Amino acid sequence: MILRSSTEPAFGQADLSNCEREQIHLAGTIQPHGALIVVDESTNTIIQSSTNAAAFLNLTHDVIGMTLDDLEGDLAERIQLHIDGDIHAIPVAVRCHVGKDNTAFDCLFHRPSEGGLIVELERAGPAVNHTAHLEEALQTIVGASSLQNLCEASAKLFKKLTGYDRVMVYRFDSDGHGEVLAEEKEKALEAFLGNRYPASDIPQIARRLYEKNRVRVLVDVDYQPVPVMPRLSPMTGRDLDMSLCGLRSMSPIHIQYLKNMGVGATLVVSLMVGGKLWGLIACHHYSVRHLHYETRTVCELLAESIGTRLAALESFLLAQAEVPVRRLEQRMVSAISREGDWRSALFENPETLLRAVDAEGVALLFEDQIMTAGEVPGSQALRDIGAWLDKTNRGTVVFSTSLGLDEPGFSYLTAVASGIVAVPISNMPSECLIWFRPERVRTVVWGGNPFKPVVIGDDPSDLSPRRSFAKWHQLVEGTSEPWTPADLAAARLIGESLTDIVLQFRSVRLLIAQNQYQKFSREVRASNPPVVIADAGGRILITNEQFQRLLGVSHPHVEMIGDLPMHFTDAEGVRQNLREVLKHKRMWRGEVSIENELGETRTLRVRADPVFTPSDDVIGVVLLFTDLTERKSAQAARRRFQESIVELIQVGDVRLDSKEDVQYQRLVSSVVGNAQLAALEITDSLDLPHIPSLLGNVKASVLRTTELLEHLAWHSHREPGDED
């Protein structure tokens, strides 16, 4: 989509050149199946309203200038019960009666950031008890064992709940394009399963609104918008912010888009994972269709639980990547101790190394030597790739699915190396491990040609991104299969292990080859993991700066390994384990704690390995430490989460009879169970720095879900005289 202007087009004034920035939250109009009023809370006076308000509410006079108390019925009374709460993020819903006929309405009200009170009214639907369906659905969601299984189950649940002709679970990729992962539809409809849709179909401003307003309903694509008057708010002098309004009109371009698809009505529910828009549950109907408040809220409740389960499943996949890596690490450690090298163990069973990241080939560049397995480029090409990696921003993991497109000089390698993942294994140039995937020429199925030129005119019918939504096949060349988060997590873990192994290997050679002392001691001292190297007599030959930082500046210089235990919390346990290493030739794996001069305690994983001569004599010991404080913090965060979550989500002061109370408490229990399972799997993942924020997002989702349950309780609870 070509951007021609830096201005932000007003609602309804955009064309395809600038629709990405159309101010759709400032629509100024609503759909006609409801009415909207805006109240100045300082005077309780209605200052704006949709032009259909009087007729829709069956009143004989215009509502602007009236107070809420002037309106016939109990609207003011029902709103007043909840007006003191936090109603900025989620509109509150109540059942009320307005007009001379005492007509029942569903009323949703919220307070936008600029002040005032926005009140939306829709005709009340029949009382529906969704408790049984909700409870069953929540159990289905929690029981889903894979992403695909969860998406398919979600499509079925929403089809049954909403009755729309087509329900799709739609995921966004890293480029913003969408793909239909699961679909439930009426048999006569064409299948959209597997179709992809370009990022331009959903502008960024619309995606941000999907994060705020999680459920959007279009009742009839042929509706006539109802203006809100006056257009500018008397309180602010600006357009009314309708971000959270369920009745808000939709962009004319989007309406035309749906008409071109033959769609008559839609329901779109956001799927949030980790505080970000992961995807959508998109429901299409081919005639007019309206869902009442209660069903829409159940949809949002289910979507919150689905998002929580998605976060758990993605974290679980990352955690699973650690298992084969740790086995590989053990083989390499043993090889160093017994054979003096680790490379043979790394390539002893190359299938293990390849399967870890689902690659076709792998190459090790180390000390000007190359070892390979599977399908890889030639030696000179591998050296060239290593040199290219040195010039890039060498992070923990460097990856590409289109090496020849990213760096045209490597285009001749496309057949074998379209995709690469590289991890550094030391601070030395061109020392790295690289996995390769070949080109996979494939056909991507789009829901219509996303690249078809458009004619930009003045009529929305001329502004459609495309008029045909027939499947359009794009032949994709020069790329490999995408690397998954689990692939990249496994690569990072292997790289981190190899970094430790290389450091240990060079530490061993330092003990064996004194003539190389200067060269490798600098590398050991510059290494990131804390390390201690001692000879067979226990004299410490070298420590690095990272280890000295662990001890702190107030600790004296340590000369003998026997002096180390005094600096650890469990001094006697450390002393006994070091004795086992030096005297009994046993490896030591464990956890220790150390306290610095500031009184801060850090938990460390220790790996101590005796170094042997060919005659099996111990000539020294290498100790490597890994700071586990972040992981311990993550576990503590999980404990705090588990202890606090039940207390935090208690349903508010809702008067329920015993039957209703049991039903809602069972739903709350299902929500809590889903959240606790997600917290367990998130804190077991490898993404330690992000665990606190992920737990925070799960907690926020639980609070939002239980708040929605509370709103359902308020709405469904019938006071005497409420029977309609």
Residue listed under structure tokens 């469990």: 570
Kindly state the average pLDDT of the residues 162-181: 89
Residues 682-693: what's their mean pLDDT?
A: 70
Contact of 611 with 618, CB cutoff 8 Å: yes
Residue 16's pLDDT is 47
Once rounded to an integer, what is the mean pLDDT over residues 307-326? 79
Average pLDDT of the chain to the nearest whole number: 80
Tokens of 97: 């009666």
Instruction: Specify which residues 95 forms β-bridges with.
Output: 106
Q: What tokens were used for 652?
A: 């508010």
Angstrom distance (rounded) from CA 538 to CA 199? 63
Residue 90 is predicted with a pLDDT of: 87
Residue 445: pLDDT over 80? no
Domain ranges of the chain: 320-441+477-499, 528-627, 631-716
Query: What pLDDT does residue 512 have?
Result: 57
pLDDT at 441: 64
pLDDT at 681: 74
CA distance 152 to 143: 13
Identity of the amino acid at 24: I
What value does the mean pLDDT take over residues 530-553?
82
The H or E element spanning position 424 is strand 419-424
Alpha-carbon dihedral angle through residues 68, 71, 77, 83, given to the nearest 10 degrees: -20
Q: What are the backbone angles phi and psi of residue 169, rounded to the nearest 5°?
A: -100, 120
Q: Report the C-alpha dihedral over residues 74, 76, 78, 79, rounded to 10 degrees.
A: 160
Please report, in angstroms and rounded to a whole number, the separation of the first and last CA atoms in the chain.
51
Q: In which band, very low, low, confident or very high, does the pLDDT at 49 lie, cut at 50, 70 and 90?
A: very high
Sheet of 117-123: strand order equals 29-30, 226-229, 45-50, 34-40, 117-123, 103-110, 92-98
| Closest to 655 in 3D by CA, of 713, 722, 588, 589 | 713
- The token pair at 453 is 């030129």
pLDDT on residue 517: 52
Lowest-confidence range among 5-19, 331-345, 625-639?
5-19
Distance CA 476, CA 255 (A): 31
- Domain 320-441+477-499 shares a fold with domain 528-627: yes
77 is written with which tokens? 């009374």
Pairwise CA distance, residues 410 & 342, whole Å: 30
Nearest to 665 by CA among 709, 700, 630, 629: 709
> Out of 62-76, 232-246, 458-472, 637-651, which region has the weakest mean confidence (pLDDT)?
458-472
Q: Report the largest interatomic distance among the alpha carbons of the chain, rounded to a whole angstrom.
A: 104
* Per-residue confidence (pLDDT) for residue 422, from 0 to 100: 92
Mean pLDDT throughout 165-174?
90
191 has a pLDDT exceeding 80: yes
Query: How confident is the model at residue 705, as a pLDDT?
Result: 85
Write out the H or E segment, with its range, that includes residue 465. Answer: none
**Tally of residues, the chain:** 724
**Is the predicted pLDDT of residue 718 greater than 60, yes or no?**
no
Gap between the Cα atoms of 87 and 10, Å rounded:
27
pLDDT band at 519 (very low <50, low <70, confident <90, very high): low
Fold of 320-441+477-499: Beta-Lactamase (3.30.450)
pLDDT band at 184 (very low <50, low <70, confident <90, very high): very high
Q: What is the DSSP string of 560-617?
A: BGGGSGGGBSSHHHHHHHHHHHHHH---EEEEEEEE-TTS-EEEEEEEEEEEE-TTS-
pLDDT at 534 over 50: yes
DSSP secondary structure, 606-652, as one string: EEEEEEE-TTS-EEEEEEEEEE-HHHHHHHHHHHHHHHHHHHHT---
According to the model, what pLDDT value does residue 189 have?
92
**276-285 β-sheet, strand order:** 215-218, 265-273, 276-285, 166-172, 178-185, 196-197, 442-447, 471-476
For residue range 450-471, list pLDDT tens digits in order: 554 344 444 444 434 444 344 5
Q: Tell whether the model's pLDDT for residue 625 goes beyond 90.
A: no
Look at residue 5 in the predicted model and tell me its pLDDT.
Answer: 39
190, with CB counted inside 10 A (0-12, 13-18, 19+), is exposed
| pLDDT of 688 | 65
Chain-centroid distance, C-alpha 150? 15
CA distance 436 to 130: 51
> In the block, which residue shows the tokens 């067979």?
536
Q: Are 171 and 278 in contact (CB under 8 A)?
A: yes
Percent of the chain with pLDDT over 90: 26
Backbone angles phi, psi at 605, to 5 degrees: -90, 130
Residues 6+ away with beta carbon under 8 Å from 497: 325, 326, 328, 329, 332
pLDDT exceeds 80 at position 664: no
- The 3-state DSSP class for residue 357 equals helix
| 127 exposure class (CB count in 10 Å sphere: 0-12, 13-18, 19+) | middle
Q: Extract the tokens encoding 259.
A: 């008409």
**Residue holding tokens 């359902």?**
712
For the chain, the C-alpha Rg in angstroms (whole number) is 32
The Cα–Cα gap between 253 and 460 comes to 6
Taking only the tens place, the pLDDT of each residue in 488-499 is: 888 888 888 888
**Does the pLDDT at position 613 exceed 80?**
no
Interatomic CA distance for residues 196 and 644, integer angstroms? 41
The answer to whether the CB of 388 falls within 8 A of the CB of 468 is no
Q: For 34, list phi and psi in degrees, rounded to 5.
A: -155, 180
| pTM (2 d.p.) | 0.69
Instruction: Read off φ and ψ for residue 361, nearest 5 degrees.
Output: -150, 160
Distance from C-alpha of 150 to C-alpha of 143, rounded to nearest angstrom = 8
User: Which pLDDT value is given to residue 88?
Assistant: 83
Q: Does residue 481 register a pLDDT over 50?
A: yes
Element (H, E) at 388: helix 379-391
Range 528-627 has CATH code 3.30.450.20:
yes
Please list the residues that pair with 216 across neighbouring strands. Answer: 268
Q: What percent of the chain has pLDDT over 70?
A: 79
Backbone angles phi, psi at 158, to 5 degrees: -70, -35
* pLDDT confidence band for 630 (50 / 70 / 90): low
> What is the band of 722 on the pLDDT scale with cuts at 50, 70, 90?
low
